[in-house]
Amino acid sequence: MMITKNLPYGIIVKYYPGRNDEASIESNFSKGIDLNNTCAEYHSAITVFETMILQHAIAGVDIEGQAYINGVKFVADLLDKQNEYIFGGII
């Protein structure tokens, strides 16, 4: 059975436990990216961040736990500050 989890910043994770196939993640970070006008480093950071969350969920990490959410918020704030510095903010 597919599991869907909603996290802050519009992060939506869909996956089957223990399986990489048919898994997906989306967020406000990736929705707002214009690949033609985004620096490669910022785009890569978002891709790594989202992939890490998705792989943690598939592996069985409690991505809805308060400690994990605090970590997500910390990284999201860093990404947003970097984005604001470069692009004026998209989130």
Tell me the mean pLDDT in the region 82-86. Answer: 64
Domain boundaries, the chain: 3-87
Quick one: which H or E segment has residue 45? helix 40-59
Average pLDDT over every residue of 45-70: 95
Total H helices, total E strands in the chain:
3, 3
Considering just the CA atoms, what is the radius of gyration of the chain in Å? 13
Average pLDDT value for residue range 41-54? 89
pLDDT at 23: 95
pTM to 2 decimals?
A: 0.83
**Range 52-78 average pLDDT:** 95
Sign of the dihedral through C-alpha 33, 83, 90, 66: positive
Q: What is the mean pLDDT of the chain?
A: 85
Hunting for tokens 């598939």 — which residue is that?
58
Please count the other Cβ atoms lying within 10 Å of the Cβ belonging to residue 55: 14
If you average pLDDT over residues 55-77, what whole number do you get?
A: 95
Q: CA–CA separation, 72 vs 17, rounded Å?
A: 20
Q: How confident is the model at residue 76 (pLDDT cuts 50, 70, 90)?
A: confident
